Amino acid sequence: MHTPEEELISILKKEGIDFTASLPCEKIKTLLEMVSAQFFHVPLTREEEGVGICAGAALAGKRPAMFIQSSGIGNMINALLSLTGFYELPLAIFVSQRGIYQEKIAAQFPMGQGLPKILRGAGIRHTVISSADDFKAMPRKLKSLYVKNQIHAFLLSPAIWEGSSAKSTLTLDQRPITCIIPEKRQEVVPPQYTRYELIEMMVPCLEGKVVVSNLGWPSKELYALKHQPSNFYMLGSMGMATPIGLGISLSSEKEVVVIDGDGSLLMNPGVLATAAHCAPENLTILAIDNSSYGSTGSQKTLTGSCVDLELVARGFGIGNTVKAATRQELIAAMASQRRGVKFIHALALPGNREVPNIPIDHLRIRNGVRDFFAR
């Protein structure tokens, strides 16, 4: 007799799920241990980050699934609509629905009980799973969402796991924690070039690689300088460039370059910890820092007053970092063969180059990347 956890795992395997990501929930802790042991798995720092990572995996041809608790939907709704839904990418979300069954934490009630209405209002399909018998509906819906490139949330009641003989085997890890101590901040060369000029310098380094570009002006500038089918131009979902690139790099052996910005990275800095943990060796994060929100009126970001993004990356555990402001520094950083995730903190002058809007729509952008992986 299979436990409910084993039954769900069996369904996921039969439907070809091959990429998972999660944040913890006490109600499904045993399920999460089994998922992490039996599937490729990414532990997340925030649900929104997971949407981007799973979007990258889907672009590379994977069948991603996320495991979260109901409160996490509130942290990911914009990314689900403006990234996963907009680009028509598949994602199965397994939601531990709190606040509906023998809940002891009052703060779980509002989101847990309002979740079906929130999903309906957002146009996200969902199925309520109240018992293990309801698992029977899953295979058909999983098949459909991956074929039709849809989002589908499965709301898992805590009642499902009552009486299960599956037990947690989690033990406290007694290994010493190691970390990278950020070096003392050194005097650096001030920025000399705009973002457009830095990207122009990088054009030879981008040939034939998957390039994920931050939304707004960075994507328009990249299109004007170096359009290729393997470029994924973001048209929304600020803060998702590095998560998307990380998801692609974990799903493929192809070289991946993320052109990110200071405002975007400050919105989802936890992804740098996830990147350090997963440590794909085919990922370069080019963080172009002009201390401004270039696509919304050039308001100042906090990198101009108190944040050093290179030290942030090192503090999160990325050891292969460099700060660059000159052409020589930037080219040398891109050519470096040091192992691990590469983080290049490229200092730039504020300002945008007047270039036309990208003339291809979002689905052509998606299809270009998918076709690149299918070759």
Domains observed in the chain: 4-161 (3.40.50.970), 195-374 (3.40.50.970)
Q: Which of 10, 374, 341, 37 is nearest to 180 (CA)?
A: 341
Q: What is the pLDDT along the chain (375 residues), one digit of tens a residue?
A: 589 999 999 999 999 999 999 999 999 999 999 999 999 999 999 999 999 999 999 999 999 999 999 999 999 999 999 999 999 999 999 999 999 998 899 999 999 999 999 999 999 999 999 999 999 999 999 999 999 999 999 999 999 999 888 887 766 555 565 666 556 555 678 999 999 999 999 999 999 999 999 999 999 999 999 999 999 999 999 999 999 999 999 999 999 999 999 999 999 999 999 999 999 999 999 999 999 887 777 789 999 899 999 999 999 999 999 999 999 999 999 998 777 899 999 999 999 999 999 999 999 999 999 999 998
User: Of 141, 128, 169, which Cα lies nearest the Cα of 36?
Assistant: 169
Parallel/antiparallel/unpaired status of strands 256-261 and 210-213 = parallel
**Where are any strands of DSSP class E within the chain?**
19-22, 41-43, 64-69, 91-96, 125-129, 151-156, 210-213, 231-233, 256-261, 283-289, 292-293, 299-300, 320-324, 342-347
DSSP 8-state assignment for residue 194:
B
318-327 pLDDT per residue, tens: 999 999 999 9
**pLDDT for 188-203, tens place per residue?**
789 999 999 999 999 9
Q: Among 86, 358, 367, 52, which residue's Cα sits nearest to residue 229?
A: 367
Amino acid letter for position 58? A
